[in-house]
Amino acid sequence: MSIQETVLPPRKGGRLLLVGNGVAQACALARYTLLARLLGPEQLGLSVTLILTAQFFDSVSESGSDRFLIQDRQGDEPRAQALVQLLSVVRGFVIAGLLLVLARPIAGFYREPILAAGLMGLAIAPIITGFFNFDLRRVQRHNDFGREGLAMMVAEVTSLAATILAAWITRSYIAALVGLTVRAVAMVAVSQLTAERPYRIGYAPEHAKRLATFAAPLMVNGLLLFLTSQGDRLLVGRRLGVSDLGKYSAVLLLIYYPSMMLMRYFHTMQLPLVAAAGATRDGLMRAIDDMASAALLLSLAMAAGFAVVAPIAVPLLFGHVFAQPVIVIAAIGALQVCRFIRIWPTTAALAAGKSGAVLAANLARLIAFPAAAAGVWLAGGLFGLTLGFAAGELVGVGIAVAITNRALGLPRMLDAGRVAALTLGCTAIMATAWCVDRMTAATALPAAAATAVLLGAIAWRERGTIARLMAMMPGARSRARGTHA
């Protein structure tokens, strides 16, 4: 019986997963904050290039096999898990080999020959990661999420400690390499120690064809996903240099890590729910509607909060050398939330096994590159580049929703109103930021008031979702019982 045809068991470890995500992103933010203080913009920029390179190879080799174990009707079988683990080992060694061969060309791309040695050392981490025990992911099809939360906490805390110790000793970008390696060791160790099944690798021809069908679009999608999610930093590093890359990344990561925490938690929790609801069309539409509403509210809350907090937090955390105009910060926030909200159509497509729809939607995201070029031409500099990317990503969100709806047999314009709400909200936030930069209360205060009214109207429209989220908060049931007593 498929996962779509069963009633899911009670959720286990959901809070631990949320805490684990929170700890992971807090550690990542602390890591960048301390690296910025210890190393300065140039060495931080070099550290970012190492991390970008690791993310590139991880993305282009991503097969989605962990999600296959959750989504596929036979994903619970030991031989399916052994096949996925075999592919993980092969993947690790292939990535390591490519890093050794391409280290010097990549260093040349950034015009930083010193990077070559660090890129070669980066080959150690994927080999270690290849031996990850995917039993930690398999149990999520039974609504058991606690082990992944534990693995994230242990891996990120140990990685943070190792990175900062290495930075204090070396005062070099090599600290990022140490942190990535220690993180891989910790993640694999926890996955092996908490697994229910013994670790096995092996080829399973009865599962290989289905896995290949599911994974092939996602592997092509990996390159597109990297380019569209990290293309802004690639261009900043290439065109403006590693010092500006360090400054840009410091600002971006203040919203990147909180959004990634929510994205991972959101995807992990929603994937089995939407998959289970897919047995009926009405159930699928309800599940997607709930997910889309929550994604919109989270996106606008992050964009507004970032525009208010980041202009103050950046110089306090990283130093005044990292400070940016408020409009640049607001544009960076808009860019990141446009990336975040894509978790809604992506999760819906993967839950139904429509990995081809994910690939098609990410192909549409390439529009962000000509949009970024247009932004640089029209507005210039970092602001123009960021604004162009954000506009391109926003167009991509609308296309992704339409593609996913069509793939699932739903009305193509379903939830178009939420894409429009995201557009209006982000535009209003950036307009207010522009007024603040001009330091005129006569324009800034009315703009802020109008933006607050608009965001309030959107929240009122989605009030049903807010009520459901409030009901899920810890203590809500006990308070309700006290009221009726």
Burial of 25 (0-12, 13-18, 19+ CB in 10 A): buried
Indicate whether 270 belongs to any domain: no
Helix-helix angle 205-235:368-378, to 10 degrees: 0
Q: Are residues 13 and 77 in the same domain?
A: yes
Q: How many domains does one find in the chain?
A: 2
Indicate whether 257 belongs to any domain: no
Q: Are residues 353 and 444 in the same domain?
A: yes
**223: CB partners within 8 A, 6+ apart:** 59, 60
Range of the domain at 382: 278-475
Return the C-alpha torsion angle 472, 474, 476, 482, nearest 10: 160
Asked if 121 contacts 177 with a C-beta cutoff of 8 angstroms, the reply is yes
Q: Are residues 67 and 180 in the same domain?
A: yes
Indicate whether 244 belongs to any domain: no
- Tens-digit pLDDT profile for the chain (485 aa)? 333 344 445 556 667 777 777 788 788 778 888 888 888 888 888 888 888 888 888 877 777 777 777 766 777 788 888 888 898 899 999 999 999 999 999 888 888 888 899 999 999 999 999 999 888 888 777 777 778 788 888 998 999 999 999 999 988 889 989 999 999 999 999 989 988 888 998 888 888 888 887 777 666 667 777 777 777 888 777 766 777 788 888 888 888 877 877 887 777 777 777 777 766 778 788 888 888 888 899 999 999 999 999 999 888 888 888 888 999 999 999 999 998 998 888 888 888 778 778 878 888 888 888 888 888 788 877 888 889 989 998 998 999 899 988 888 888 787 888 999 999 999 999 999 999 888 766 678 888 899 999 999 998 988 887 777 666 554 544 444 454 44
Indicate whether 254 belongs to any domain: no
Q: Are residues 224 and 284 in the same domain?
A: no
Query: Which among 71, 150, 186, 459 has a CA at the least distance from the CA of 300?
Result: 459
pTM of the full structure: 0.69
Indicate whether 51 belongs to any domain: yes
Indicate whether 356 belongs to any domain: yes
Indicate whether 266 belongs to any domain: no
Domain edge (last residue) among 207, 231, 255: 231
Indicate whether 299 belongs to any domain: yes
Structure tokens at 51: 């991390």
Backbone angles phi, psi at 197, to 5 degrees: -100, 150
